[in-house]
Amino acid sequence: MIDPQTQQRLREKYNPDGSQLRQHQMRMVEMLEYFDKLCREHNIRYWLSSGNCIGVARHGGFIPWDDDIDVEMLREDYLKLEKVFTESDRYVLQTRKNDPAYFAPYAKMRDKQSFIVEDGQDSRYRYRGIYIDIFQMEYAQRSLCRAFAHAVNFLLVPLNKADNIVCRTLFAILKPTIYAGIAVSRTLFGGLKNNKLRHTYGSGWINNIRNTDDIFPLQRAKFEHIEVSVPNDLDSYLRKIYGDYMQLPPEDKIQRPHIKKLEFK
């Protein structure tokens, strides 16, 4: 973990208490705490992923300029989550099944008591609150991952952005067609298991591979003021993705938050 003086300097610069970013981060921590409790109650395995794991190892919480939380889980656990997650007045699990305009193969846990506008194509989504991304990981065939990622990114994405009846009709036809193809592919190739996990078919992260030996058995670690599940060999997990993840990036290369608007209800 970086030294306290550096951490304090970064906090003061990027996410001081009371700033919009810090309020956003703290709302996501509340959501993560709820999500973690639900998963543990139902024996659903998940792990904090990617940049959030850098946050655990380097900062003890969020990377100061980070504005998202990502978790990963095996597809079998993802299917369990879909069954047990009950919409409340506070939270909803947004999927392509309950939001006609949403097409991603992963879910978003949304906070219904907030509203965000991003640099993206969320304007047609049914649910638009602060969210946690929940990624399905499975033993997926690489060439098919690429094919379905292209289908989603080059067909569904532009059609969803367009605001005319023809594109919306095509979107409504192609979305179930692509996912029917994914279901067939999973049936044909789902038995080809090894120790390599990929993001599920239709995701854009074709080359992101996770080694099960790095992940399981999961361990618990501190993230901000709560405890969450993380890969067992956190160092190996992060080095395979980022290399020297403990090295801070040049401050002129830091990617700033992409949220255009944030409101709390």
CA distances from 12 to 17, 21, 58, 135, 220 (A): 8, 12, 17, 31, 28
Please check the confidence at residue 82 and state whether its pLDDT lies above 70: yes
Please check the confidence at residue 189 and state whether its pLDDT lies above 90: no
Q: So what's the pLDDT on residue 192?
A: 64
Mean pLDDT, the chain, rounded, equals: 93
Q: So what's the pLDDT on residue 102?
A: 94
Q: So what's the pLDDT on residue 76?
A: 95
Through-space distance between the first and last CA atoms of the chain, rounded to whole angstroms: 35
Say if CB 10 and CB 64 are below 8 A apart: yes
Q: So what's the pLDDT on residue 163?
A: 84
CA distances from 202 to 122, 139, 147, 187, 234 (A): 18, 13, 8, 15, 27
244/113 Cα distance (integer angstroms): 38
Number of domains the chain contains: 1
The predicted-structure confidence for 197-238, as pLDDT tens digits, reads as follows 999 999 878 778 899 999 999 999 999 999 999 999 999 999
Say if CB 145 and CB 199 are below 8 A apart: yes
Asked whether residue 189 is assigned to any structural domain, the reply reads no
238/247 Cα distance (integer angstroms): 12
193/201 Cα distance (integer angstroms): 15
Q: So what's the pLDDT on residue 191?
A: 60
Omega of the bond leading into 217 within 30 degrees of 0 (cis): yes
Please check the confidence at residue 44 and state whether its pLDDT lies above 80: yes
Q: So what's the pLDDT on residue 22?
A: 96
Query: What pTM was computed for the model?
Result: 0.94
Asked whether residue 142 is assigned to any structural domain, the reply reads no
Asked whether residue 23 is assigned to any structural domain, the reply reads yes
Asked whether residue 144 is assigned to any structural domain, the reply reads no
- Supply 253's token pair: 């290369």
Binning pLDDT at 50, 70 and 90, where does residue 80 land? very high
Q: So what's the pLDDT on residue 187?
A: 85
Asked whether residue 8 is assigned to any structural domain, the reply reads yes
Please check the confidence at residue 13 and state whether its pLDDT lies above 80: yes
Asked whether residue 115 is assigned to any structural domain, the reply reads yes
Phi, psi dihedrals of residue 173, rounded to the nearest 5°: -80, -45
H helix runs in 42-164, sequence order: 50-54, 75-84, 142-151, 157-161
The predicted-structure confidence for 115-134, as pLDDT tens digits, reads as follows 999 876 678 899 999 999 99
Asked whether residue 185 is assigned to any structural domain, the reply reads no
Asked whether residue 194 is assigned to any structural domain, the reply reads no
Domain that holds residue 14: 4-137+211-264
